[in-house]
Amino acid sequence: MCMMLCTGRFVASSSHTTDRVMIGFTALSKYYFERSNVNTGERLAFTRCVSHFLEDKASRSKLGTMKVNVAWDESDFQIDVGTPAGRHEYKRIIDRNHQLGVTHMVYGPRNTLHSNILNDTDDYKWEHVLWFSLGEQIREGRFDPATDPIPNDILDMVHYARSKNVSLLAYVYPLCVHWSKFPEAWVGGWTDISMPGVKDWLLSTLKAFIHKTGAKGFASDCGYVNDAPDNPRRYSQWRAWQDIIKALRKEFPDIIMDHRSSAHKWGPWHQLSGSYDEPLSGDENPETYGVPIASLSTDHVAADMLRQVNYKYAAFQLIPAVRIPGFMFHQTERTADNGTSPCFYEKPCFNNNTRDFDLLGYKYSVISNIGTAGLNNVLCMIPARDFKEYSLFPKEDLHFISKWLRWTDEHISYLENTVPIATLDMANLGSVDGTAAMASSDEGFLFLFNPNLVPMSVSIVIDESIGISNSSRQSSWVLSEIYPRSLPNVSFYYHSDAIQVTLEPSSAMVLSLFKQINVTKDFAGARTGVVGPAGKEVSFQLNHPTLIGDEAISFNGVQCSKEIDDGRDDDGNAKLQIMFGDGSLAVSHAMPLGDQLPSSQNTGGKFSTTFEVPISVFIQLMERENAYPIDWQSAERFATWLIPQRLLAYIFIANPDDSWSLKAKLDGESVTVHKAYNSRGVINGRTFTGFYLDLNELEIAPDVSYHLELNLPHRLPRGAFQGIFLHNLETSLTGNVTRCAIKTDS
């Protein structure tokens, strides 16, 4: 229960309305989030209270989930839309968003018809791209959207986007006001927007801009609040900004507001009128947030960071799911391969790192976004600016992204209750993390993630830990896996039962839990559309085998036999085992290189293994090269997420240090051990992701035996070295079910 106590007024020469005061009462659950020690019942009550005051509820019910491409993440500021070539390139970004089903874009290209980077006054030299490139003129008082016409070239781009069902958001800096009109507002390096004249000017300018341009919202950054604790104007600035966005929301209920800068510091009440909190809770440059969990995939690094941040938003700040921000894919590195910064200050650039999409890592990122922030899908670098990357991008990958974005619209009633699974840690090495998205009917979805390079098992209890209420104590649920495999109706559970699953290395999994009425009847029957790992067996525990009737159970037409397994422990449970064929050319993601993994107790030092790379690996890589024939350049080899047809062997060490030295010998000959960085130009310990061997460079042949010796750093943390794993492989999937059995112990 949430009660609003009062709003008060100070009676003096003028009145002042205070902020609301809330008192809440809740029944506590038996679970506390592991990191924050916040009770899950307390979080539920608090977020429901906050959600009551959100001011975009009607708009969201009409628009569906947010699908926003923040185009600065593909470095759209490099593009000069004041030229025909620039306009053509930018329309390609809009076209790609249309194909993906993205509905909004933060629009921030440069436009030399209206602005010049040399005239910028902000420290980061962004002013020339603000306000659809009119930012400098607005700050200088040379352009007023209330009285001056919008240039036709700007309106043409707005109209083109609208013809593709994409709406444009303007990038704005609240601190860049009309300074000559308000010189007194510039206080200590900040614009004090709490001054009545400044606040009124900014609000009226924002309103006029929307009316004149057809913009559908704003991305705001850089300084609407000087949040230094000793700033005496801190609250008044915060209140002024709240008044501005509240007024905007009232007049334009369907706009999207993407708040950045210090937005992540203020908690849930800061976003009542906005759309979502700050993605990654800070600057999304790869060199800024570092490497929370090492990977050769830049999208994996960003996705792990996203899940860590969104765990904190949910479990520490108690942000409702409807305000937790997504971050899909990654921001393209703005630094050049030689470490220079060609796109800042006095050096405009045009085509730095335009080809940067992580073809093999992006799916993990998509599921991480949807699993933690499915109501606010914020897309970053998309394959559009580079023509080859745009034109050759596989249709099945376009379909994957657009399908999952549509899925969010179809499952809003589940996603609005997304919460971290209380019994799991946030994204971290050594464990599985995950979220639950359960509707009010106590059924829905589980999103699980394994950031480790080895398989990890997890046990999840069907109760309040995943958002299922105690009112469903007498219910039962059927379990299906919907990603990465399609395995419908593979087990059933009662309240308080434990689901036990194993995730393959560096992977995501999506499970569904829906109630069933009759266990025996609902579990029987034929399953179609089943897809699993080629040449492998999958199994699911059946906790209540005596409830399985005699009716036929089949997968893709293969009927399940019922067998007694004499080797099983007599625990009263059973297992459903499904065997998939087509194993002769099967490949698994993150296959270990060699005949053994290091001991979990190892502390580094010497390690050796004998290995063969099967022909199936080379076939998959060759097929990918034929399907995605990009003309990769030599400099792009430094980005380990590019050139997806090459074969890399990742020497995985938790929390690697680029000051370490690793040496390797292949069949007794010294070979190069490469260092990897999550950056195209910032080469330092903060962006370091580890060591790898380039097996193409070493001319490794299929089905030939090799002996590899490694000299690792001594005194590594116990178990930090997990092994050597083949990178750029995807698990082979098939619908060819060859066998199915239900095995019991009696």
Residue 7 lies in a domain: no
Query: What mean pLDDT is predicted for residues 702-730?
Result: 96
| AA letter at 359 | L
% the chain with pLDDT above 90: 78
Backbone angles phi, psi at 694, to 5 degrees: -95, 105
- Residue ranges of alpha helices (H) inside 36-164 are 40-52, 57-63, 84-100, 135-140, 152-163
User: Is the same domain home to 582 and 623?
Assistant: no
Identify the CA nearest to 689 among candidates 291, 330, 358, 336. Answer: 291
CB 151, CB 112: distance < 8 Å? no
Query: What mean pLDDT is predicted for residues 521-530?
Result: 93
Residue 64 lies in a domain: yes
pTM over 0.85: yes
Residue 37 lies in a domain: no
Is the pLDDT confidence value at 164 over 80?
yes
Greater confidence, 11 or 238? 238
Range of the domain at 199: 53-410
Domain boundary (357, 391, 410) is at 410
Buried b (16+ CB within 10 A) or exposed e, 111-148: beebbebeebebeebbbbbbbbbbbbbbbeeebbbeee
User: Is the same domain home to 550 and 598?
Assistant: no
Residue 486 lies in a domain: no
Identify the CA nearest to 676 among candidates 658, 696, 700. Answer: 658
Count of the separate structural domains present in the chain: 3
User: Is the same domain home to 550 and 682?
Assistant: no
Q: Which CATH number fits the domain that encloses residue 391?
A: 3.20.20.70
User: Is the same domain home to 552 and 616?
Assistant: no
User: Is the same domain home to 710 and 684?
Assistant: yes
Q: How far is residue 506's CA from residue 484's CA, in Å, rounded to a whole number?
A: 12
Q: Which CATH number fits the domain that encloses residue 671?
A: 2.60.120
CB 504, CB 490: distance < 8 Å? no
Query: What mean pLDDT is predicted for residues 182-205?
Result: 84
pLDDT in tens, 426-443: 999 999 999 999 999 999
User: Is the same domain home to 537 and 674?
Assistant: no
User: Is the same domain home to 595 and 546?
Assistant: no
User: Is the same domain home to 397 and 276?
Assistant: yes
Residue 444 lies in a domain: no
Confidence of residue 6 (pLDDT cuts 50, 70, 90): very low
**CB burial of residue 668 (10 Å; 0-12, 13-18, 19+):** exposed
Residue 562 lies in a domain: yes
Is the pLDDT confidence value at 10 over 50?
no
Q: Please give the pLDDT value at position 264.
A: 86
Residue 69 lies in a domain: yes
User: Is the same domain home to 719 and 739?
Assistant: no
Is the pLDDT confidence value at 78 over 60?
yes
